[in-house]
Every structure is written in C-alpha cells, then in structure tokens.
Chain A
Amino acid sequence: MAKEFELNEVEVWDGNYAASQALRQAQIDVVAAYPITPSTPIVENYGAYIANGYVDGEFVMVESEHGAMSGCVGASAAGGRVATATSSQGFALMTEVLYQASGMRLPIVLTVVNRALASPLNVRGDHSDMYLGRDSGWIQIDAYDAQEAYDLALCAFRIGEHLDVRLPVMMHQDGFTTSHKAQNVYPLKDEVAYKFVGDYVPVNDMLDFSRPVTHGAQTEEDWHYEHKAKQHKALMDSRSVIDEVFADFKALTGREYKRVESYMMEDAEVALVLLGSSVETAVLAAKQLREEEGIKVGIVSPRCFRPFPYDLIRETLDTSSLKVVSCLDKSAPGGAMGALFNEVSAAAYTTQARPMMTNYIYGLGGRDFAVDEAKRIMREQKAHADAGHITTPIQQFSGLRGPKLGFFETRRS
C-alpha cells in the first residue's frame, strides 16, 4: 500500500508540483514519461514519490516522448490508470501516438505544460503545443494557475475514464507563468482525492484472458469513416460529462469550473477571448478599464478547448450590448487567422448580436503579456465599437517590436 502524504490545508505549490501531487493522489498504475522543460519537475516529483513509497504503480522512464505516449497506450490497453507529462517538442514528437490513443479510446491523462515550438528553439510558454493537439481527438482542458492545475488534473481522470467517454484528456497549464509560479494551493487529503477520482474500471482489458481482445485494428475505406464518426460523437458528447464532473467537484470543494469561463459579460460592449494564465491579466485589465475609463469590457475563456464549447461560446456572446469581440491567439498562426479567432467567430456568427470580430497574435515564445497591453487592445476594441466598424487590420500582432504587423484591412463591420 502506498504511504499517505501528509498535506497541510494550504500548501505553497507551483503548477508543476500541483499537477504531480494530483497524479500521485490518483494512484496511477503506470506512468511512462520522458522529461522536457518546463514540465520536467512533474516527472521528477513523481520519481520522488515512487522512491519514497507514495505510489504503488510502475514508473517507466522511456527513451523519448514518442516512447512515453506509446508506453501509455500499451499500458492503458492493459487495463489500468495511466498518465504522463510533456511540453513543446516532446508533445510534437508524441503527436503520432496522440491520434492513436484517442482512436483506440484509451483514457490516458497527459499533463501538458505549454511551451513554444521550434524553430527557433524556445523554452518559454506559448500555446503552440496545445494548438498542435487540437485535432487529435483528445479532450483538452486548460488550467490558469496552480490551484486549477491540481483541481483539473483530478477532474481529468474522472472525465476521461467515465464509461460514456473513454477518451484521453490533456490537462494544460502555461509554461513558467503557471508551472513555475508558486502560490497558495488548497489540496484535498489523499483519501478524499482518490475517492473523487474513483477506482479504475478496465474496458477491453488485454489482461483479462477470458476475453481475448484485439486493439489497434486497421480500417480502410469501408470502415474508417464510421469509426471516426463514432469517436467524434463520443468527444462531442463528453461535454455533459465534463459539466457533471465539474459540478461534483464544486460540491466537494466549493471551487467552480465551467467549460467556458466568463467575467463581466452581462453588460459588456467589448470582449476579449483568450486562454491560459493571460486570462487573469485580462480580467484585471478589464476591471481597471471599467473603473478608470468606463469601457465595458468582458472576458471569455474556453477552459475546455476540446471539445470546443461552440454551444456555450455562442450563449456567452449572445448579448445585445456586445459590439466587438477580439480573440487572442498565443500561437503562430502559420498563414491563417488564429484558431481561437476562427472558432469563436464561427460561433459568434450564429448569434443575434453578430459582434465585430478581430484577432490578435500575442505572447509568442513567452513574451510577457501585461495589463497595459491588454488595456491597449481593449481601447482599440472600443474605437471599433464607437466607429461602428473595424478601424484596424482584422489580424494584428500585439506587443511586437518593429513596424505594425497586421493583415486584412476592412472598413466594414
């Protein structure tokens, strides 16, 4: 039996430590992992729990991130709880296997500490890796601080392993700004946390020899389409399970999570949509601007990045006061509008309000996103609202040195 880890009511943890404590409390059967900055401490901390008897499971230090996710798939198909951690290039290396994990409906939990993708090489936080995973068929949930990294990692097991879901779950947090920033965290006691997560229920268990099972069959044109459709439906339907698990977590802890978080949207004239640790900055900026300049700013954040909360985004943006919505993408868009912009715009298009939509690229490679920059964007939004049309390029790079960089001029709303 694993030893109980004595925890205080309040601990001072960074995001990495918080995530590793949640993994420990879930009593994972196999962690197959490979270290990479900035998520390395998750793996190291877990190694310390193993070395000191706090975990009963196996800890397999593989030779690469591709090996880590491959090991997770093999272990998960063998009927137990599985998790790992990664970032950036490691995430990119495991991408092949991410698609296989979801297609095989294996409820692996991957804690991703978001970091930029090379080239040029960069160890700081942006959302390039998170975006790379967005078509991989995983549930993607985003934590904005260490407390959330802890809470949502516990929720991730419950969601992915739910018998109606059986899909892998990524639990994101921002590299350094969350992963290495210490703050007060209120953990659950080991027993309470484990009870919330629950015992693992094997499905199509390779180690149940009374029911030999083949995993990873090939499907060609006669069958592939039906299987992918079924998988997509499971991912879309997971929305109700996510809501249910968040509700249970609130009942247990009082801490509330929603698939779409929104702040001050009731009377907002302009709104920012963004992800990660920047949300906190944006909320602070919005509060100050409301007070200082009377600009009615609201903030929206799709905490559940996948399945994309089209339903709740539309609901949140469907207010008569709303005139301008700007989506902030912390990932190099690679010759397109930002992903958040594209997806939120599609949802906003079906609202009565049909706000003007603009896109900002920001914070690449860990460039700081401060309150002043958020305010500058909000003032631009207000100018659009007052003019009745978009007064800048639709896509702009914010906080960038050199001449202004933007695309797609328009005079129309």
Chain B
Amino acid sequence: MAITSIKNLKEFSTTNDRFEGSHLLCPGCAHSMIVRELMNSTDDNLVIASNTGCLEVSTAVYPYTSWDTSWIHIGFENAATAASCAEAMHKARKRKGTLKDNDAPVKFVAFGGDGSTYDIGFQWLSGAMERGHDFTYICLDNENYANTGGQRSSATPVGAHTTTAQAGSVSYGKKQKKKDMVAIMAAHGAPYVAQLAPNKWKSMAKGFQKALEIEGPCFINTVSACTTEWKFDPKDTIGITDLATDTLMFPIYEIINGHELNILYRPKNILKVEDYLGAQGRYRHLFKPENKHVIERIQKDIDEKWEFLQRREEARI
C-alpha cells in the first residue's frame, strides 16, 4: 500500500527506516536526516545512485552498507547517469518481461552533494534532465566540498570561508555568488523542481513525494547544514537550518513545469542575515568592521531574491 499523504509526525513515525545507523557521517549531519526522510516518504522499491561525496563515503565502506535498497556508486560526477540508465534498463526489461516482478513499483533516485551537482557532475545531471528519464535528483547542498575538508564549490555563498577561498588579511572569503541551480534545473523544463529544508519536514516530505510521483526528471536542492565545515555545534543542525529558512538565506519553494512558482514557507518574522551568519564559524570574519559591506551585500541579495520569488509566484506564469 503506497504512502499517499503524511498528516503529522506521529503518522510519519510509523514508517520503517531503510537507511541504517552506524554509517560514518559526522554526528549531527543533516545529510542523513534528508536521506531518511526521502526513504521514509515512500514504500515503493528504490534504486538509489550516489555521487562520490560525504554520503557515499560514509554509507558503503566495505564490508558495510547502510542501504536497505538497491544502491550504486560509480564516480564523483555520474550518479544522475547511473540512475537514469538504470531507469532505462527497467523500461527495457519491463517491456521484455525479464524482471523478477514485472509490476513492482520502483522509483529511481540520485543523490549528490553540491560539489558533484553544481560543479563536477553538472554536465551529467544536465544530460539526464534533458533526456527526460523518470527519476529524481536530490542535491544535499552543504555549500562546500566537505568530504575533502571544506573547499569552495560554486554553491558556496559570498563571504564564506573555505580552504580554497579563505578569509584572510586581504580577503573576506568567497567573492562569487552562489550558482542558482534551482533556476538552471527549472530552465531544463523539468516537471518538478524545488528547494527544500529538513527543518520544514512536512514540506520536504511532500516535495519528495511529488518528485517521486511525477513522471519525468525532477530536481530538489536541499539545504544540508554541515556541522564540521560551517563550524557549529552538532546539536544545532536544526536550529541553524531554522535560521537559514527564517532569514530567507534558503527560501523554500517549488517550480512546476519550469514556470509555475510556489513559495512553500513564509517566515512570520523574517530575521536579519546576521543572525544566521553569526551562528557559524565560517562567517566569523564578516563581523570585522572592514567586512560590514559584505554582510550588507548578502542581505541585499537575499532581499532581491525574495522579491523576485514573490513576484514570480504572483505572476502565475
């Protein structure tokens, strides 16, 4: 019996985990919160592909797997291709009747960090989206190459310190804006694209369910707070994510068929970005007087983006 809607957390908690403990992710890592939620939001069979990254190196180190479903890792860049061509194989075998159970419902999912999604695997992801496979790609966006010790990615926001875009006596950290991956994926004409956050568990579960149910290539960018590289206490993962969504640093929204934009979360009190930045070590240097302009720029970018999203939502086109 398929899980159709999840009314409340109590009901959700009756689902059975298919992502097991004793993986090697850091204590307090948001990756596994997101992965668990994805897997618990459906009871269909799953074929999951993972790009190289924190999730992959922490969940399938021989002789252990934390996956109770079919799972594959090839390289840093090609999980979208692995999942999409596994989906092609499913189509072919279903047509020929060579599957063990020809009617078993199955969903194809690919996971990648922002390094593999925004940077090294960008081409592979774009190709799979364009080809129109029935699969869902989920980016676990922690805004840096955390698996290799915190280097910059094109998802790293302005002003963040990383080991390859450092804050120093003449530098305030990363100078370039974060790539707008959600817009790029929407521009592929994907039937469902969203940006979701694990602190808003219900909109996240709903978004996952939509992506899994909708036929065609769907993309979801999830904010995955990184205790190690963002430099905050592991217990604060959800608190930091609350700040990310309530400052609108990470607005929660979906885009249907490339154009219909819906905002999924409107903070009652929009917080100033300083609250979010100040809670993390990677932004500590921005609070020096000479870097005040960077915080102002970040706030301006947030305000403009929020204005843009609201207008796009109102436009209904």
Contact = CB atoms under 8 A, between A and B. Distances in A.
Q: Check whether chain A touches chain B (CB < 8 angstroms).
A: yes
Interface of A: 29-30, 32, 56-58, 60-64, 66-67, 70-80, 82, 96-97, 100, 104, 200, 202, 205-210, 212-220, 223, 227
B84 A71 contact: yes
Given A67-B124, A80-B98, A207 B78 contact: no
Interface of B: 45, 47, 49, 56-57, 60-63, 65, 67-75, 77-78, 81-86, 88-93, 95-96, 98-101, 104, 106, 123-124, 126-127, 130-131
B53 to A, nearest CB: 12
Contacts of A60: 84-85, 88, 131
B47 A78 contact: yes
Contacts of A214: 60, 65, 67, 70-72
B147 to A, nearest CB: 11
Nearest to A62: B127
Given A212-B71, A215-B70, A215-B71, 12 more contacts: A60-B131, A63-B124, A63-B126, A66-B78, A70-B78, A71-B82, A72-B85, A73-B85, A207-B100, A212-B69, A214-B70, A216-B73
A133 B74 CA distance: 18
B65 A70 contact: no
Contacts of B98: 29, 79-80, 200, 202
B68 A212 contact: yes
A63 B93 contact: no
A32 B85 contact: yes
Contacts of A104: 74
A29 B97 CA distance: 11
A219 B130 CA distance: 34
A62 B84 CA distance: 10
Contacts of A96: 75
B63 A207 contact: no
Contacts of B83: 74
B77 A212 contact: no
A116 B144 CA distance: 39
A84 to B, nearest CB: 11
A207 B127 contact: no
A216 B104 CA distance: 24
Contact of B123 (A63, A200, A208): A63
Contact of B106 (A57, A207, A210, A219): A207
Contacts of B82: 70-71, 73-74, 77
A36 to B, nearest CB: 16
A75 B123 contact: no
A79 B106 CA distance: 15
Nearest to A57: B92
Contacts of B61: 217-220
Contact of A29 (B69, B89, B106): B89
A126 to B, nearest CB: 28
B127 A67 contact: yes
Contacts of A72: 85
Contact of B127 (A63, A205, A216): A63
Contacts of B95: 56
Contact of B63 (A56, A66, A223): A223
Interface hub of B47, B74, B77 (most chain A Cβ within 10 A):
B74
Contact of B70 (A56, A63, A206): A206
Contact of A209 (B70, B71, B88): B70
Name, among B72, B90, B92, B98, the residue most crowded by chain A CB atoms within 10 Å (CB to CB). B92
